[in-house]
Each structure stands twice: as C-alpha cells, then as structure tokens.
Amino acid sequence: MQKRLVELRERLLRAGVAPRHVRRYLSELADHLADLRVEERRSGRSLAEAEAAALERLGCVEELAQAMIAKPELHGWSARAPWAVFGIGSVVGLAVAYTAACTILWIGWKVFLPGNESPFVPVDDGLAVAYFGLGRMLYFGAPVLVGWSMCVLAARQRIRWMWPAVGMAVVASIAGMVQVHAQRADAGSAWGHVSLGLTVGTTQAAILGQLAYAVSLFVAAVVPYVVWRLRRERAAQGSA
C-alpha cells in the first residue's frame, strides 16, 4: 500500500491538488484500507489475501486520483494561477522583506544615530553594529529568500520549473535596480525618512554592475532548486 500511496500522492500533486488536501485524502484512504483489511480478515482470509482483497476494493491509483482531480476547489492557487503566485506574489514578498529592512534601518537611525544626517555612517557600538547588521542581512538576503520560498513552493506542489524561474527573474531584476534613500524630514529634525527607489545605471559600467548583481541573485536562488530536481529525477529513474 505504501507504494500505491506514494504514486497517488505524486499523481495528485502533479495535477495541482493542494498538498493539505492530498495529506488529508491519503490519511482517510489509509484508515479506510485498514477497515477493509479487518473486514477481509474476519471473513476468514489470510493476511496476504486480506491485503490483496482490500486493495482491490479500494481501487486503482487513477480511479482514486480522479475523485480529487475532478474537484477544482481542491486545487492550489499555484496550479490555478501560477502567474499570480510566482509573479505578483514574488514581488509582494520582496516588497514586504524590503519594508522590514527599511524599518529596521529607520529605527536604528532614530535610536543609535539621532544626531546624524544619514544612517550610513560607521558605528562603534557593538549593539548598533549587530542591529544594523541584521537589517543589512535582511536587505541583501531578501531576493534570495524570496526565490528559495518560490522554489520550495514549486517543489511541494510539483509545479513546472518555468514558473519559479520567471518569478526569480522578476525579483532579481527589481533587486538589481533598488537603492535605499535616507534623508531628514526637516533641518534639525530628529525624524528621518527612509525610502526605496528603482534606479537604472547611467553608465555602461553601472548597468553591467546591476546586471551582474541580478544574475548572481538569480543563480543563488535557482541553482539549489535545479540540483534538487535533477537528483529527484535520477532517483525516480533508478527506482523505475
């Protein structure tokens, strides 16, 4: 039965059924099979005969799969609208991460550097170094984290590799052009303003630098997913 459940799970995930529905369905089938097995044993069959009869009564993989695939409401959004999940969703995720990084920068500016015109100055305090370091890690790591999240989602739901690749290309392109701006709201004011903007390089060197950075982000996010898929395909071929 374990092999049949594995085959059924893969069939359902490839068809777009949401993982949570797949898990619940497989759990219900396992319980139902146990009941069938008990019934067959009570009828006087041997353990092997009861197992075979219970599996036959349960149905084949394709029949069991169609019972779920035929219900569109059970399909995940990543299968129903991958362009929205991996396109719009990736941009929203990046925006949330960048907003958090800018908030960390703004609070640190207020707390640790209240008299400075800019938060982008050297700091000596150990706590301040750690605090601003956290913000920098989030800012520079945000595109890769978003990319990894998309790849994990695609792997869990057996989505075609094209969609996370497209989403990561969009994220990397935006990240390559993003710049942080910080300025005082008013002269002598203790409150500063931190914002993000998209800037395209004005020189060939600057444009190439942005492009190289975007490509490096894309590679860092997508390569682990590609390696995972290749290993999984080889493992499937070896067990076939």
Domain extents in the chain: 2-74, 77-239
Residue 136 clears pLDDT 90, i.e. is over it: yes
Q: Is the pLDDT of residue 18 over 60?
A: yes
Q: Which tokens go with 25?
A: 């369905």
Give the Cα separation of 102 and 93 in Å (integer).
14
- Asked whether the predicted pLDDT for residue 187 surpasses 60, the reply is no
- Is the CA virtual torsion 170, 173, 174, 175 positive or negative? positive
pLDDT higher at 51 or 236:
51
Average pLDDT of the residues in 98-120: 88
Give the per-residue pLDDT at 215.
Answer: 94
CA-nearest of 5, 1, 55, 10 to 236 is 10
Lowest-pLDDT choice from 48-52, 141-145, 152-156, 189-193: 189-193
Tell me the two tokens of residue 231.
């290993």
Query: Which H/E stretch holds residue 192?
Result: strand 192-198
State how far Cα 107 lies from the chain centre.
28
Q: Indicate the range of 16-20, 63-67, 225-229 predicted with least confidence.
A: 225-229
0.95 surpassed by pTM: no
Beta bridge partners of 179: 197
pLDDT (0 to 100) of residue 240: 55
Confidence of residue 185 (pLDDT cuts 50, 70, 90): low
